[in-house]
Structure 1
Amino acid sequence: MPELVADLRVIDADTHMTERHDLFTERAPKGYEDRVPHVEKVDGVDMWVIEGTTFGKAGSGGTIDHAGKKHPFRASQGGSWGIDDVHPAAWDPEVRLRLMDELGVHAQVVYPNAIGLGGHNLVNSVADPTLLRLCVELYNDAMAEVQADSGNRLLPMPIMPAWDIDGCVREARRCAEMGMRGVNMTAHPQDSGSPDLGDRAWDPFWEVCAGMELPVHFHIGASQTALSYFGTTYWPSQDDYVKPAIGGASLFLNNSQVLLNSAYSGMFDRHPELKMVSVESGIGWVPFMLEAMDYELEENAPEWFDKLQKRPSEYFRDNWFATFWFEKGNGDLQHLIDTVGEGNVMFETDFPHPTSLHPNPLEIVREQVSALRPETQVKVMGGNAAKLYRI
């Protein structure tokens, strides 16, 4: 049987934490207890409510039951499941740490669920800027506590107030001072009224993130624009259980747009130490996109191509990371990783979501990962993440 490198320290670069129902209310300042996000029964279903507006079901945020069995999305997270139905490791950090020990995972990077994968659900539900800022800070404070209590084994990525560039600068600094190891950004801040990510108006934010060693993370589906793919590709002819597979697969290429915008914008010439991460997108699309980036820009905008200090594809090598989990690289994962860059790839499990590698992630990837060179295994399965997140 193929073997993984001995004493491999595995770091899982993409997991999710279901928001506890009291996450915001237990930290709310006096007078805001009923205004911050809280859970109410609406037609018998637990719903997240803020300022009298519902912004999503207070559901399970996962497909793993208490016995550790994974269920289809439609029968669990996308069905009737509430937070009591999902495995406690989905929402309880102490249980999560015990599960990580059982699975042989040293550390995990953590993303939200109900508030939006990039925190974008909040801005669509709140008009009061003071309340909106408070919600962001309460969530990030809670996640900073999770990180500290875990001894830096759980690394939640704090959400940024993408509707306010100056607010992003302040919040990034505040989160860095709390010891957090990156930031979680929506892919389309223009959905919230801000300029797109390639606009120079974002330079103060990139400067802070680069200077304070805060890699900027873009999870697939981290905006309303990105999620439109998930809903509009549900062809009526397809079975209800097939539709989530169509939507899920449609999301994987979203981040190619962020990569293009960042590379073409020249932001990395101005901020060469800035790091970005494409989360839960896989890596198989990267080699083609790197070729396409170079070809299309030189073909269509040769003068702009010459203004950049590097070929667009080189910015991926120097400034970007991507995560993989189930890919086999058409039987040659080593070749795929070499093409992407063995220093640019991190391992993920996506626990407890429907595409996760549960119940035994290391066994599931053992065959393809053990065929990698030992030095590649060390980098991809944990070494790259350890360096990026200062573990």
Structure 2
Amino acid sequence: MPDSTAAGLPLIVSVDDHVFEPPDLWSARLPARYRDSGPRVVREVSGAAADPRADRVPVDVWCYEDVRIPLNSSFAAAGKGAAEVDGTPITFDAIRPGCYEVTARLADMDLDGVEASLCFPNMFVRFCGQRFLEARDKKLAKLCVEIYNDWAIEEWAGASAGRLLASPIVPLWDVDLARAEVFRNAARGVTSVCFSEIPAKLGLPSMYSGYWEPLFAACAETETVINLHIGSSSTTNKTSPDAPFIIHTSNHYGNSSLSLSDWLMSGVFLRHPTLKVAFSEGQAGWIPYLMSRLDGIWRAGNAFMGGDALPDPPSSYLAEHVYACVFDDPAILRFLDDGPLPLDNICFETDYPHPDGSWPNSRASAQAQTRTLSAEDQLKVLRLNAARLYRMERITADAAEPAR
């Protein structure tokens, strides 16, 4: 592992990375009666069979019920040049082993100056388990959720000596099952769970419906942080169907903005005073404007606008409940003194192995992002805020030790 004093920076605790689901994750664990319909990887050959001149390239494809999802190079960009990250179908042989093997991932973290990493699902499961929400057979889907979580907690995180943290998914189609899954995983020491940034966009009850109260109560009771990853509403902000992907990616924060507005104005934090949420990969530069706007409407007290929904300004709930996760947002770190989001609520991420990810240059990226901060504040943003939020006891205990 790199020297923690290299470049004057602490080792990083990344709050948003991803793990590729191994090809046998479900096929090796599901009951035999589900092997033919459950998730499994099949190696196929691309190219038009009718054209003997076409390239015949092997491709690994996730098959589940009637869904077929080829592996995509853009979701496994770590170690690839820009020209290789083109969205083409690939096989597991073409993926960096750190994407799905624990030992290789830890080695890649060592190269990058990352001590610990919170890991989300990747392209097949999707960022809050939408794949299983969309499945027809919900008994099988529930088994798939539980198998994924067992693997992520016991085998992926469990084999990492505390350096890899799982962010489990829940059966989104049933709040009581979701609540039970939170309790099941909290009993094993898990400190977070994935949820949709905007559940209504998945055809689920909205944040204002009251439907999700049992889940939120379970998270508050178990101190389980709710992770709201961009893209977990299965929607993107785009100007037109033919707009380049840079339009989608650079405007992802729009869903985070809508999501934070819902979390504040629905009064969830009033009903669950210990609940905490993290906007994974959402950045934070948009938060000061949004709070200014929401607070202004609240102060006007206009019932038609809903400005009378909270007893205190919306921004007053940020410090106790809301965490921002950044990797390319130097502006928010320059203007912390003037903003509503405390520095203690900002965490850093590397987004391994996605195209936006900073591997293997995360330390240089962290240095550039936090160069305006003091050494003490760098330590918070790059390490301690995340360790405290996700209750990484060894890291927080080390921080409490007096300097020698």
TM-score range with shorter-chain normalisation?
A: 0.7 to 0.9
- 1:299 is displaced (CA, Å) by 4.1
- 1:109 is displaced (CA, Å) by 0.7
Matches within 5 A, 1:379-390: 379-390=380-391
Structure 1 residues 338, 133: closer, same or farther in 2, change over 3 A? Answer: farther
Structure 1 residues 296, 79: closer, same or farther in 2, change over 3 A? Answer: farther
d(CA) in 1 for partners of 2:87, 2:144: 25
d(CA) in 2 for partners of 1:50, 1:69: 28
Contact (CA 8 Å) 1:60, 1:84: kept in 2 or not? no
SS at match of 2:227: strand
Q: Deviations over 1:119-178 (max 9, x none)?
A: 112222x21221111111111111012111112211120011111111110111111112
d(CA) in 2 for partners of 1:22, 1:166: 29
Matches within 5 A, 1:339-354: 339=339, 340-354=341-355
Letter of the 1:88 partner, please give it. P
- 1:118 is displaced (CA, Å) by 1.4
d(CA) in 2 for partners of 1:140, 1:337: 40
- 1:336 is displaced (CA, Å) by 3.9
SS at match of 2:24: coil
Query: 2:144 corresponds to which residue?
Result: 135
d(CA) in 2 for partners of 1:337, 1:117: 33
Contact (CA 8 Å) 1:186, 1:222: kept in 2 or not? yes
Contact (CA 8 Å) 1:55, 1:121: kept in 2 or not? no
- 1:98 is displaced (CA, Å) by 1.2
Query: 1:13 corresponds to which residue?
Result: 15
SS at match of 1:216: strand
Contact (CA 8 Å) 2:76, 2:99: kept in 1 or not? no
- 1:15 is displaced (CA, Å) by 0.6
TM-score (norm 2): 0.85
Q: Deviations over 1:290-342 (max 9, x none)?
A: 1112223444744954452321111222201011112221xx83324762310
Matches within 5 A, 1:249-260: 249-260=250-261
Query: 2:335 corresponds to which residue?
Result: 335
Query: 1:48 corresponds to which residue?
Result: 62
Does 2:210 correspond to 1:200?
Answer: yes
Matches within 5 A, 1:1-391: 8-41=10-43, 44=46, 45-51=59-65, 53-60=66-73, 62-64=75-77, 68-72=79-83, 75-76=84-85, 78-113=87-122, 114-124=124-134, 126-145=135-154, 146-224=156-234, 226-227=235-236, 229=237, 232-234=238-240, 236=242, 243-299=244-300, 301-302=302-303, 305-329=307-331, 333-336=333-336, 339=339, 340-391=341-392
Query: 2:51 corresponds to which residue?
Result: none
Q: Give the unaligned 5+ runs of structure 1.
A: none
Q: Give the unaligned 5+ runs of structure 2.
A: 47-58, 393-404
Give the paired residue count: 372
Contact (CA 8 Å) 1:147, 1:154: kept in 2 or not? yes
d(CA) in 2 for partners of 1:49, 1:234: 30
Contact (CA 8 Å) 1:337, 1:345: kept in 2 or not? no
Letter of the 2:107 partner, please give it. R
d(CA) in 2 for partners of 1:254, 1:55: 27
- 1:387 is displaced (CA, Å) by 0.5
